[in-house]
Structure 1
Amino acid sequence: MGMRAAYTLVDELTLDRLVSLAPEVLVSTLEDLESGGSPTVYLDKMWDGLHFLLTGVSAASPRDDDPLSESVVGVHVFGGEDFVGCTENDELQTIIEALDSLDRDEVIGAADFTAFAKAGIYPNIWDDDPEILRRELTDAWDAVASVHRRAADEGHHLVISIF
């Protein structure tokens, strides 16, 4: 199985508990939350492609104070080997507005997949059928926008894990 991104909605108490955990138990605790029914949206393989589409760089080099970058990787990063980040509820609206300010179809339609390949964007699929790639990026964009809106509407925080 390849790497995937998970976006899990959590309340204040849960976020406080996650922040206090040692890195070696954080991932298993997140997996327990997901399997225990915490609302979670998965991006599967398109997280790095979406980040590159929105920012021009890989998610491995997220941009500080860039709400488009933060839409994929979160605002705050937990320590540890596995990537775990979070966006607190009061930070969600800025990200939602940044995504809404773009014309999704125009941005995706203009995507140059040879640039994705040259940049080594995960996964190595950028020579596949461009229409399929555009459809998958559209689905990823919609999923990210939707989960941010849902977290904001429900008063939750968002925990992002990529591994």
Structure 2
Amino acid sequence: MLRKLMRKLTINCILNQATRLIICVPILWTTQFVACVKNDRVPEIISALEDFDYEKALEDFNMEDCANAGLYPNIWDKDDEDLVDELIEEISDYIEGLRDFYKKVLEAGGHALITIY
């Protein structure tokens, strides 16, 4: 799921950063994406997740940027501060969960299977 933050961060930058963290070998790409992250890449992913200042990135979270990028689901036209707060919390939880997941993979010496459907 990460690219280095070189400009003012918007949700597009956050998504681009997160995408680069999933350093993987694609196995299947049809209506679903399936890939394997080999265990030799796990330390690099953990390092990138720990170096990524997602809290700073989320300071610039903007619903309009999400709408302009055509991100799914199409909820970005709502002018709802509570929704923004919920989304920021959800994104933060997912990033922290991803970091914890890869630490467990490292401890187990395993590989990770990534699916997007």
Please classify the TM superposition score into its range, dividing by the shorter chain length.
0.7 to 0.9
Cα deviation, residue 156, structure 1 = 0.8
- Picking from 77, 86, 110, the partner of 2:26 is 77
- Picking from 100, 110, 113, the partner of 1:146 is 100
Greater shift in the superposed pair: 76-85 or 91-100: 76-85
Task: Find the counterpart in structure 2 of residue 105 from structure 1.
Answer: 55
Cα deviation, residue 135, structure 1 = 0.6
* 1:1-163 pair list within 5 angstroms: 53-55=14-16, 68-71=18-21, 73-81=22-30, 82-126=32-76, 127=78, 128=80, 129-163=83-117
Cα deviation, residue 154, structure 1 = 1.1
AA aligned to 2:55 is D
How many residues in Structure 1 have an aligned counterpart in Structure 2?
A: 102
1:31-78: CA deviation from partner (whole Å, max 9, x where unpaired): xxxxxxxxxxxxxxxxxxx8852427xxxxxxxxxxx4243x441111
Q: Which runs of 5+ in 2 are unaligned?
A: 1-10
Structure 1 runs, 4 residues or longer, greater than 6 Å off = none
Q: Distance in 2 between matches of 1:111 and 1:100?
A: 20
Q: 1:54 to 1:99 in 2, by over 3 A?
A: farther
Q: Which runs of 5+ in 1 are unaligned?
A: 1-49, 57-67
Q: Distance in 2 between matches of 1:131 and 1:152?
A: 32
2:28 is paired with a residue of what secondary structure? coil
Q: TM-score, normalised by structure 1?
A: 0.55
Q: TM-score, normalised by structure 2?
A: 0.74
AA aligned to 1:69 is T
Q: Distance in 2 between matches of 1:118 and 1:83?
A: 24
AA aligned to 1:79 is L
Task: Find the counterpart in structure 1 of residue 6 from structure 2.
Answer: none
Q: Distance in 2 between matches of 1:145 and 1:130?
A: 23
Q: Distance in 1 between matches of 2:60 and 2:40?
A: 32
1:79 is paired with a residue of what secondary structure? strand
* RMSD (CA atoms): 2.2
Identity of aligned residues (%): 26
